[in-house]
Amino acid sequence: MLKNLNDAVEYIERHLTEDISSEDVADYVGESDFHFKKIFQALAGISLNQYIKQRKFSVAGQALFHGETVTDIAFKFGYQSVEGFSRAFKNWCGFLPSEVKKNNTILSFPKLTFYIDVKGGETMETRIVEMPAFQFAGVQKRVPIQFEGVNHAVKELADSITDSQKEEMRCIQNIDPRQIVNVSYDADENFIKEEGGLTHMIGVLTTSENIKDCLETINVPANTWAVFPNEGPFPETLQNTMAQIAAEWFPSSNFEQLDVPGFSLTEMSQSRDSYAYSEVWIPVKKKEK
């Protein structure tokens, strides 16, 4: 994975003046777009698409600083007009491209290099589970994407569940884990940025074909699942586990994530405040050699 990340950076550098996308980069290094964007974000601290944009404007700014004209740079980087390039450049750095040379001012965003920083290792408990096809059944709505802390929109969704919906979920749940689960999917920017929204469902797993209309459903095919138990302060431990899975477990494992909704479950402690046992379930497949 380390080689793929650095190969991706070099590919981006060679194609900065072209209209490249995250899909182009992932395809070049032989990774799925969904999986590679998550790994890049976790390790670089910036989304892949944002990195491409930052590098484009950084290189454009350097060229302006060294005397190339705004017109030449605008068309070199694929803009249809000088005005369009100037607006985009100002949105990026706060001043017009014509002011770069005049004021001897330019912002720089250096090229990334990925390397291994060996620290005290942490073990991750993981189990691999084969699951038949099933459905998530529950209540759902669009909520803001939030990587840290309590998402109050999700709490409001939980509070909105009626007694009849709870009873229907209790009746139809017939497949492990037989607990209430949280499913997040269809996220803006594929969970890469803490912007926009996602669809969040609170529900159960079922193979029942007789589900009342008071619940919505998501069909899930038969898959292999990687399960990550974790225990500690909630929600910090759960959120840290999710980040660790993307940044550490996937790069060192023989699996890659499928573009299928995963889920989590949480059991709050009865004796300790804001403390919980949780599990993260992620659909996976073995990487092709």
Domain ranges of the chain: 2-103, 127-286
CB 68 within 8 A of CB 78: no
The confidence score (pLDDT) of residue 284 equals 92
The confidence score (pLDDT) of residue 40 equals 82
**Contacting residues for 113 by C-beta, under 8 A, at least 6 apart:** 6, 9
Q: How long, in residues, is the chain?
A: 289
Q: Which CATH number applies to 2-103: 1.10.10.60, 1.20.120.420, 3.40.718.10, 1.10.1040.10?
A: 1.10.10.60
CB 85 within 8 A of CB 100: no
Q: Which helix (H) or strand (E) holds 4?
A: helix 2-14
**CATH number of the structural domain 127-286:** 3.20.80.10
Please give the Cα distance from 112 to 13 (Å, whole number): 10
The confidence score (pLDDT) of residue 120 equals 43
The confidence score (pLDDT) of residue 5 equals 86
- Separation of first and last alpha carbons in the chain: 13
The confidence score (pLDDT) of residue 119 equals 46
Query: Given this chain, do its domains 2-103 and 127-286 carry the same CATH topology?
Result: no
Please give the Cα distance from 40 to 253 (Å, whole number): 16
256 forms beta bridges with 285
**Contacting residues for 175 by C-beta, under 8 A, at least 6 apart:** 131, 132, 134, 205, 206, 207
* pLDDT tens, the chain, 289 aa long: 678 888 999 999 999 999 888 889 989 988 878 778 877 877 777 888 888 988 888 888 888 888 889 999 999 988 889 999 999 988 888 888 888 877 766 666 777 776 655 444 455 678 888 899 999 999 999 988 776 666 788 889 999 999 999 999 999 999 888 899 999 888 876 555 556 788 999 999 999 989 999 999 999 999 999 998 999 998 888 888 888 888 778 877 788 889 899 999 999 998 998 899 999 999 999 887 6
